[in-house]
Structure 1
Amino acid sequence: MKPSFALLLLILGAVTNVQPEQEKASLLYPYGPDQRDHKNPKLDDGTSKELSLAVPFTFYGKEHRSLYVNNNGVISFGTRVSQYTPDPFPLADGRPFVAPYWADVDNVLGGDVFYRETTDPTLLARVTKDINQYFPAIPFTATWAFVATWDHVAYYGSTTNKGNTFQALLTTDTKTSFIILNYRDIQWTTGAASDGDAETGLGGTPAHAGFNSGDESHFYNIPGSQTAAILNITHTSNVDVPGRWVFQVDDFKVIGVSPDVPKVPDGNSCWL
């Protein structure tokens, strides 16, 4: 018996709704308990312990052999970052770090922060393929990766179930280093202690995304940082993949930033 026309419409509608979610899911590299990830404690403004790396990771010309995964959307080198209201880059205090989404995360209220260091050949092959696609002029075969994922994390003072899911992947072949930032679902920009609205997670001082070298000269602010436009980072990209930003960070370079990506107010966006 053939399905009715109404049933066909329901099936087509279901397929239409599922596909975007599948695409969003495929943006992230595998994470979570199935990947034997470690998990940060449930602690407002908390961090991981200092994590020693099996191989040095070069960031802005300096080798780092350890890092911290901070609950507030930052991967830092040399020092923890408990600060919850973001500052624009460059920072004057010499802290080198990557800010996938620097804002006031509260994983006590919801969500988890996962991380792992890996040499899994399946993941490294996928990362290599992606990097080669985005940087075809640079010979690169990933030999190591570090994956940190903020999974449906809540904001401080939240009175809702809103959550943000984003990810940072660090990778190297021991000479060249890249960082891939993935944004699957961004529902809030600001915690209540940063003057955000407890019901919406918006307003106040919004999240910041980018890189700070620590030398007060070299930095990059992803367009939209610390404005309401950062909520749309799931739709922006410098590699033509909505929700993904990719950077070479050993000798920092920015490629392919589209001219129609929203600019940071006052021209506060540069790379050197």
Structure 2
Amino acid sequence: MICEANTTSTTTVSTTTPTTTAWTAPAIFYPFGSAAGDHEQLENGGESYASVGLSTPFVFFGRTYNNTYVNYNGLLSFNMQSISGPYYIPTRGAEDYIAALWNDFDDNYSGVYSFQQYTNGSVLTRATHDINQYFPQMNFTASWVFVVTWKYNLQPNPAILFQVVLISGGGHSFFLMNYGDCAVLYGQVEAGYDTINSISHFVIPDSTNGNYQNLKNTSNVNVQGRWAFISKSGRESLIGVQMRLTSYSDLTQSGKIEAVLQQIKQELVSHGLPSSIEMKIRNVKKTQP
């Protein structure tokens, strides 16, 4: 007897659909873009700007402004639109401005900048928390917030992303500068702020020494990618600075004294004091009663 068995061979082919994770901005960024209801403006080589009337006046180092200019080149200015440059701060000119990331982006990149003002809601709650964290002696409550965000080279995700947040309330004004990724930029780059005649000014060091792509890892408030400043001429609060000296001669030899004073000044300015502060060492002689 011969038994024959018929067998059927089956082949299963499985396919997988690649999944992509939606891009999200770094957690330090305030809400922005169309999803947040921002007014958006496209920049594609036109060197554009937007003049924005402020619903609440903003005091910038002693001068009150009801209007600001959001410029394509990463500049938030108060006196005039689209300041050319960038120039190295201090400019000692006739402008008040915040240089979030000052560069001629239109020469190499296209993108979008957007902005929105808030007078209530969760954004104010967040701003209140942030300012009280960085300036705990202020006991601050935010009543107005203005968020400006720049995004360049948008495909597939922003290759350059940065933001300025103006915050005011109770007679006090502050501003935050937030940094995400930064692609290669051409020409001069600078981040910081300047005032009329440069009475108060500050430059984030990594913005001018060739390390601008590292801005997302820098901070003056121990929060990666964020810089926070109080917008006030002659800050009244007390700040402590801790420094390690290599030897006692750092405070006794004239050449070394100046270097130490400059380091202390830079640290104080990075925490929001005006750059016009003067540092001096006073010699105190102990006498026997």
TM-score calculated relative to the size of structure 2: 0.70
Distance 1:116 1:161, change over 3 A: closer
Confirm whether residue 175 of structure 1 aligns to residue 176 of structure 2.
no
After superposition, residues 37-48 of structure 1 pair within 5 angstroms as: 37-44=38-45, 46-48=47-49
Question: Deviation string for 1:173-207 (max 9, x for gaps)?
Answer: 0510010111011222x33xx3xxxxxxxxxx3x1
Partners of 2:182 and 2:240 in 1: CA distance: 23
195, 198, 202: which is aligned to 1:216? Answer: 198
Gaps of 5+ in 2: 1-20, 245-261, 270-274, 277-289
Question: Deviation string for 1:121-167 (max 9, x for gaps)?
Answer: 1110011011111111112100001100012x149xxxx99721011
Count of aligned pairs: 228
Which structure has the larger Rg?
A: 2
SS in 2 for 1:165: strand
Deviates more, 1:133-142 or 1:250-259: 250-259
Partners of 2:97 and 2:175 in 1: CA distance: 12
Q: Which residue of 1 aligns with 2:55?
A: 54
Confirm whether residue 141 of structure 1 aligns to residue 146 of structure 2.
no
Partners of 2:241 and 2:112 in 1: CA distance: 31
Partners of 2:209 and 2:128 in 1: CA distance: 33
| Aligned-CA RMSD value | 3.2
Q: Which residue of 1 aligns with 2:211?
A: 229
Distance 1:49 1:162, change over 3 A: closer
The amino acid that maps onto 1:175 is: G
SS in 2 for 1:209: strand
Partners of 1:104 and 1:258 in 2: CA distance: 38
Whether the aligned pair in 2 keeps the contact of 1:170 and 1:178 (CA below 8 Å) is yes
Shift of 1:44: 2.5
Partners of 1:221 and 1:135 in 2: CA distance: 20
SS in 1 for 2:218: coil
SS in 2 for 1:123: helix
Partners of 2:75 and 2:173 in 1: CA distance: 18
Q: Which residue of 2 aligns with 1:64?
A: 65
Distance 1:250 1:130, change over 3 A: same
Whether the aligned pair in 2 keeps the contact of 1:47 and 1:82 (CA below 8 Å) is no
TM-score calculated relative to the size of structure 1: 0.74
Q: Which residue of 2 aligns with 1:184?
A: 180
